[in-house]
Structure 1
């Protein structure tokens, strides 16, 4: 009886092997498989790889032509190397009096959600105060904190963290 089971089992394994290992063959050569007319294989209109003339986003989630402002770890003060960016944003707002802006405070993912929401708010308020000191009317500026909720780079390295510690400046329609 066990001999019969062993023979059936062996036959099943051999049958499965032969069934699954067989592959179809195509007698055509590689040249025959390649399309003969490249134009006949086009799927749609070609797209330009050039940047649009009037982009709506500059960096991060910031509306062009404004620039995001980046922060040091666990800090909400405007860094010296970021002053030119916030001044550029202020100049744009001075030239476009009808524009209102939402300043979105962001953090890297380190720390608790509650802490990061508070830090993002402090960063947004810091930028708002800086713009007000440049002469921008407070009524044209709103703030919101996204904390770590709107990560741009999901890496776990300093470059990714640094890109996520920012204020975005979004034009409100």
Structure 2
């Protein structure tokens, strides 16, 4: 798919990682036409895109297993982001990471994305090895929220970890 190749080239150029280095659901991906964005996703993402702050609750409640969306999209002058949304059997992940806005330091934001995403996926794998039952992870333009269920313990963390250390959650609780 041409859009996927373009997106992969752009993430490699801007963030120094290929889409092949991050979890992508093993489903057929389709281009998502949305203004000037560059998005690809599952069939479910063609029908419904969760792209703004107000969509987070609905995404967590209603996005079906198999939902996947990744790419760049924005509106206005500064509400531009790199998106990574995924729903699998254990996780619901909504990442709307700042990038591309007129008033952003996009070089600095690219560095944050380059660091955050690979660290998050290592963190998620660590959680799975610890007996993860359920994970909700939300990062949206500086706001964050995490809910982790491991064994019989539920950890709720209402703080962005985008600019922080992800292991801060695990260090705060005895698991």
TM-score, scaled relative to structure 1: 0.23
Question: Relative to total residues, which structure has the larger helix share, 1 or 2?
Answer: 1
Question: Relative to total residues, which structure has the larger strand share, 1 or 2?
Answer: 2
TM-score, scaled relative to structure 2: 0.23
Which has the larger Rg?
1
